[in-house]
Amino acid sequence: MFKIAKREQFSPVTYLWKLEAPDIAKAAQPGNFVIVRHGDGGERVPLTIADFDRQAGTITLVIQAVGKTTTSLMDLKEGEYLDDLAGPLGHARHFDKVKKVVCVGGGLGVAPTYPQLRQYKQNGAYTISIMGFRSKDLMFWIDRFKAESDELIIATDDGSFGVKGLVTGPLQEVLDKHQDVDEVLAIGPAIMMRACVAVTKPRNIKTIVSLNPIMVDGTGMCGGCRVTVGGKMAFACVDGPEFDGLQVDFDELMARAKRFDSSERESMRLFRERCHLPRQSS
Amino acid sequence: MEASTKPKKTIKTIAKSKTAMPEQDPAVRAHNWSEVTLGYTEDQALAEAARCIQCKKPGCIAGCPVAINIPGFIQAIESRDFRKAYDIVAADNVLPAICGRVCPQETQCEALCIVGNKLEPVGIGRLERFVGDLALKNGWSLATSIKRNGHKAAMIGSGPASITCAVDLARAGVEVTIYEALHTAGGVLKYGIPEFRLPKKLIDRELEALQRLGVKIVTNAIIGRLYTIPQLMQEMGYETAFIGVGAGYPNLMGIPGEGFNGIFSANEYLTRVNLMRAYQHPQTDTPTGMGKKVAVIGAGNTAMDACRVSIRMGAENVYCVYRRTKKESPARAEEVHHAEEEGVKFNWLTTPVRILADERGWVRAMECIRMELGEPDESGRARPVPVPGSEFLFEVDTIVYAIGTSANPILAQTTPGLKLNQRGYIDVSPETQMTSIPGVFAGGDIVTGGATVILAMGAGRKAAHAMLQYMGIEAAAQPAHQAK
């Protein structure tokens, strides 16, 4: 059982948990993820660690309610307990010495970009951040990003704040302006990462992406998270979750993300029907 | 002795065949998740026990990886002292209800049963299950007064190898903690073996018994990530550790098309169904994402489980596709037989070479090739050789790979100095199960590659014995059993 020490609602569908998990906080590194599971019959969901505080013994997750589990978890209140939390999983990020880096985050990928951005900054890099949200009301952590970024660009789909449109527009401009960018980090929906790679590939800029495919165990046992990288099959949970974006087969990744769509819709429908009533344990 | 008052049993006086095991009707069980075999009644157990002729030099014990005193416990059944029968079994096997169900007795104890030379061997597995089930029903556990000796050991993984090792150490007074990566303990017994073959509540009861011995179970603890082995040994105060993590890293074939939707490793497929209870979806959250025409590649016990799960999940057609013939299939005969009864279709001498998908990336067919058997290979089985020009299209919408597993890389990557063999499994001393790191032992599938529950248990037992010696604990502190 893991206590939700702090909870913040960023928007109708985005919320933050600070979970008491001292051992995970101690072992966590930028790039790691955890698996959460809750309730009788609950599924295992991988979530990238958005922050960790070794002193306080907490890890932070920023969760977007996209499916039944992430929607129902929104009902857990501050001070309540999550049943299962396993991690840190995946390889820790290995940071090469870079002078100038662009960190791109979009949607559910915004928060996980943060610990990496902070690490780049600590390593002495010139940091440019491009964070994408659907609209102004969905924005969060702008101050935190500002504190770690030499340049911060916000893009909103509807233009309600910052640059109107997707993150790829600003990315293109930044790369035009800064010919000396060593590395791009892109974390977000697969379609966004694919679009970022489409910008960086012609320029042959090293691009790191963090993949979040469907997993069951998250420890290499099921192989459900397999992804083709450089023509070879890899397991995102143990070989990743971060890969060389220029090598990732995004089309396959996006097709594989739809494997359970119909079942997930059915789960969601049932959940809504029950009007968010707490599930009975069977 | 009692035996002298009774007429002596001989091979000529006993029943010729095993007392039949009551089973659910195939047509009924194909649509439910209840256990297929129902277990002996007391009368049936007595009848079967009467078939054991109490050989002076029994063969059966040598066939058992944990050397249970088989004639001893059968004699106790025959004299209706079921509690004594349990005590005899439990001295060597802490999981009789489980082993009675999933051990391949036909190649172990029953293969060496003297009665079996002339007639059907004694149904040792069925009798073991009878005793194990009675014990669970009546809450029997080994009478133990454990004196803690201040020594500490960590088990990594909570499957059969670790459970056995933990029990032996706990009985000898060691403070044992089991670390399990998943949210629930039991390992392959939970995620791998389906409910209809091994009810989950049995495993839970066995785990409760383990905790009554003082063994601590910590779930959600991935060793190599949350804590490393050096941390366990240096910072967390464990004198010894046992690695029993299994070989849960699924093999694929490496043919084109394996990234398409509708292709699963048996690990994924069975974990979804067994551990995450996808058969209750959408009441539970985890779906299978399977279709209606399922091909399971491979013909081992895991393949049979995947086939029989598919039938129960409502697949219209379930095909077992294997490159050799029924004769070479590694599954237990009983499992193949059960699968046949339930409507699984077998495609022997067939292997896929390419997977084809529709425009949305979902499997629509496999291109297969026929095989023929050639000269024996290094495993001693006839090598399957493709028949040129025999390619054909096999229409399926779901493919499950049950072609074995490899070693999971996490521990090896995070444990400096842990020596592996060429196949990637952990290298151990065959006498002690100790790895290249002093105090760190290993056993089960992570050492041997995919094998059986009972072999893992045998390794766990052998390691426990060596771990006690390593910690300087008198072997006499251990209950009497012959660790092999």
Q: Is the peptide bond between A88 and the residue preceding it cis, with omega within 30 degrees of 0? A: yes
Q: What share of chain A is helix, strand, coil (3-state, %, to 5)?
A: 30, 30, 35
Please indicate, yes or no, if residue A220 is contained in any of the structural domains: no
Measured in angstroms, the CA of B285 and the nearest CA of chain A are apart by 5
Are residues A179 and A133 both part of a single domain? yes
**pLDDT score recorded for residue A126:** 97
CA atoms of B16 and B116, how far apart (whole Å): 10
Cβ <8 Å between B221 and A238? no
Are residues A132 and A79 both part of a single domain? no
What is the number of domains present in chain A? 2
Please indicate, yes or no, if residue A145 is contained in any of the structural domains: yes
B-chain residues near A258 (CB < 8 A)? 261, 360-361
Are residues A16 and A67 both part of a single domain? yes
**pLDDT score recorded for residue A90:** 95
Of B182, B191, B287, the CB nearest to A263: B287
Residue A41's identity, in one-letter code, is G
Please indicate, yes or no, if residue A216 is contained in any of the structural domains: no
Are residues A143 and A41 both part of a single domain? no
Cβ <8 Å between B408 and A224? no
In A, minimum Cα distance to B222 occurs at A87
**pLDDT score recorded for residue B135:** 93
Residue A265's identity, in one-letter code, is R
Q: What is the 3-state secondary structure (H, E, C) of chain B?
A: CHHHHCCCCCCCCCCCCCCCCCECCHHHHCCCCCCCECCCCHHHHHHHHCCCCCCCCCCHHHHCCCCCCHHHHHHHHHCCCHHHHHHHHHHHCCCHHHHHHHCCHHHCHHHHCCHHHCCCCCCHHHHHHHHHHHHHHHCCCCCCCCCCCCCEEEEECCCHHHHHHHHHHHHCCCEEEEECCCCCCCCHHHHCCCCCCCCHHHHHHHHHHHHHCCCEEECCCCECCCECHHHHHHCCCCCEEEECCCCCEECCCCCCCCCCECEEEHHHHHHHHHHCCHHHCCCCCCCCCCCCEEEEECCCHHHHHHHHHHHHCCCCEEEEECCCCHHHCCCCHHHHHHHHHCCCEEECCEEEEEEEECCCCEEEEEEEEEEEEEEECCCCCEEEEECCCCCEEEECCEEEECCCEECCCHHHHHCCCCCECCCCCECCCCCCCECCCCCEEECCHHHHCCCCHHHHHHHHHHHHHHHHHHCCCCHHHCCCCCCC
Task: Residue A7: name the closest of A246, A148, A18 by CA.
Answer: A18
The interaxial angle of helices B200-212 and B160-171, nearest 10 deg, is 20
Are residues A141 and A84 both part of a single domain? no
CATH of the domain at A148: 3.40.50.80
CA atoms of B62 and A152, how far apart (whole Å): 72
Residue B220's identity, in one-letter code, is N
Q: Of A210, A234, A263, which marks where a domain is finished? A: A210
Task: Residue A127: name the closest of A147, A157, A156, A106 by CA.
Answer: A147
Average confidence (pLDDT) per 10 residues, chain B, 484 residues? 63 92 94 94 97 95 93 97 95 88 91 95 96 92 78 96 93 95 95 94 89 94 97 96 93 95 96 95 91 97 97 97 94 93 97 96 97 88 93 97 93 94 93 96 93 90 95 61 37
Q: Of A89, A114, A140, which marks where a domain is finished? A: A89
| C-beta of residue B21 within 8 angstroms of C-beta of residue B334 | no
Of B181, B285, B286, the CB nearest to A86: B181
A-chain residues near B186 (CB < 8 A)? none
Cβ <8 Å between A224 and B409? no
Please indicate, yes or no, if residue A60 is contained in any of the structural domains: yes
Are residues A12 and A72 both part of a single domain? yes
Tally C-beta pairs within 8 A across A and B: 130
Give CA A115 to chain center in angstroms: 11
Are residues A68 and A28 both part of a single domain? yes
Listed by number, the residues of chain B in 268-307 with a beta carbon closer than 8 Å to a beta carbon of chain A are: 268, 271-272, 276-277, 280-289
A47: its two tokens: 């979530």
CA atoms of B285 and B269, how far apart (whole Å): 15
Task: Write out the residue range of the structural domain in which residue A53 sits.
Answer: 2-89
Are residues A104 and A73 both part of a single domain? no
Instruction: Give A180: exposed, middle or buried? Use CB within 10 Å, 0-12, 13-18, 19+.
Output: exposed
pTM: 0.91
Q: Of A70, A89, A108, which marks where a domain is finished? A: A89
Please indicate, yes or no, if residue A244 is contained in any of the structural domains: no
Average confidence (pLDDT) per 10 residues, chain A, 282 residues? 96 94 96 95 94 96 91 95 97 91 94 94 96 93 96 96 95 96 96 97 96 94 95 94 96 91 84 63 42
Cβ <8 Å between A86 and B182? yes
Are residues A107 and A67 both part of a single domain? no
Please indicate, yes or no, if residue A218 is contained in any of the structural domains: no
Provide CB contacts within 8 A for B23, sequence distance 6+.
B29, B36, B37, B38
CA atoms of B371 and B365, how far apart (whole Å): 19
For A100, the enclosing helix (H) or strand (E) is strand A100-106
| C-beta of residue B66 within 8 angstroms of C-beta of residue B461 | yes
Are residues A79 and A107 both part of a single domain? no
Please indicate, yes or no, if residue A268 is contained in any of the structural domains: no
Measured in angstroms, the CA of B286 and the nearest CA of chain A are apart by 5
Are residues A65 and A119 both part of a single domain? no
Of A27, A42, A233, the CB nearest to B258: A233
Residue B214's φ and ψ, nearest 5 degrees, are 100, 5
Are residues A120 and A80 both part of a single domain? no
Please indicate, yes or no, if residue A82 is contained in any of the structural domains: yes
**pLDDT score recorded for residue B92:** 87
| B193-226 pLDDT per residue, tens | 999 999 999 999 889 888 988 999 999 999 999 9
Of A41, A249, A267, the CB nearest to B277: A41
Of B221, B248, B277, the CB nearest to A221: B248
- Any chain B CB within 8 A of the CB of A66? no
**pLDDT score recorded for residue B5:** 59
CATH of the domain at A13: 2.40.30.10
